Structure 1
Amino acid sequence: MRNDRERLKDIQEAIEKIEKYAQRGKQEFFDNELIQSWILLQLQIIGEAARAMTIQTHEQYPEINWRDIIDFRNLLVHEYFRVDFNIIWKIVQQELPILKYQINIILQ
């Protein structure tokens, strides 16, 4: 069974994987279904790792909006037809760098 530190590392790794392909730019993201699918999978992994963590970890790091991360994962998995790639790109560009910073601080 994975502990919370390992789940934090899973989030860190998923962000790095997203960054690898997001650096190709917005147009490539919108034109390439494989990159879209890859990024969506990594976002699901982030949400699943957040969901599986203990409430103690969530309470210890309230600066991270765990509920939004988990809710977004649920949308990706259960309401995939509502996915808006403009919003996905905005999350990748604006929200993930903040989350990456927060996770890196926790793991130091």
Structure 2
Amino acid sequence: MDERILKWLYDIHQAIEEIDQYFEYHPKDFLAYKGNTMLKRAVERDLEIIGEAMNRILKRNYDISNRITASRAIISSRNQVIHAYDNVSDENIWSILINHLPILKKEISQLIEEN
């Protein structure tokens, strides 16, 4: 695998690890998340990093999209957080954290392990 792609996979992995660390000492509770602006901004920043890294990966090798569930949706989420910041829904971000991030973490870890 291309070294740049591997670096971006590590960037995604690191951003997911950071998000996990935000909840290390506190349970994942939507109402607590919704009320914590600093936590929301930190999560959104890591989602931006994940989306940008995914965008770069797919521009370099689109075939990887077959190995990452919802790779295009990841990029779309990044674009929404950056360009439509006034329409970012706490519920949508929470859904990403709870439903999609664990899947992405497994897929990214597997790609890294293979290389």
Q: Specify the alignment match of 1:50 in structure 2.
A: 54
Which of 98, 102, 106 matches 2:107? Answer: 102
Work out the CA distance in 2 between the residues paired with 1:54 and 1:91. 20
Task: Give a deviation string over 1:51-77, Cα, whole Å, max 9, x none.
Answer: 112445331341312211111111110
Work out the CA distance in 2 between the residues paired with 1:58 and 1:100. 19
User: Normalising by structure 1, what TM-score?
Assistant: 0.90
Work out the CA distance in 2 between the residues paired with 1:58 and 1:102. 16
1:35 aligns with 2:39: yes
Unaligned residue ranges in structure 2 (runs of 5+): none
Q: Specify the alignment match of 1:6 in structure 2.
A: 7
Is 9-18 or 22-31 further displaced after alignment?
A: 22-31
Work out the CA distance in 1 between the residues paired with 2:79 and 2:33. 22
Work out the CA distance in 2 between the residues paired with 1:3 and 1:19. 24
Which of 80, 88, 91 matches 1:83? Answer: 88
Cα separation, partners in 2 of 1:71 and 1:30, compared to 1, 3 Å: same
User: Normalising by structure 2, what TM-score?
Assistant: 0.85
SS in 1 for 2:67: coil
Work out the CA distance in 1 between the residues paired with 2:79 and 2:46. 13
Q: Aligned pairs, how many? A: 107
Unaligned residue ranges in structure 1 (runs of 5+): none
User: 1:64-75 maps to which residues of 2 (within 5 A)?
Assistant: 64=68, 65-75=70-80
Work out the CA distance in 1 between the residues paired with 2:64 and 2:95. 27
Q: Please give the root-mean-square deviation of Cα atoms over the aligned residues, in Å.
A: 1.6
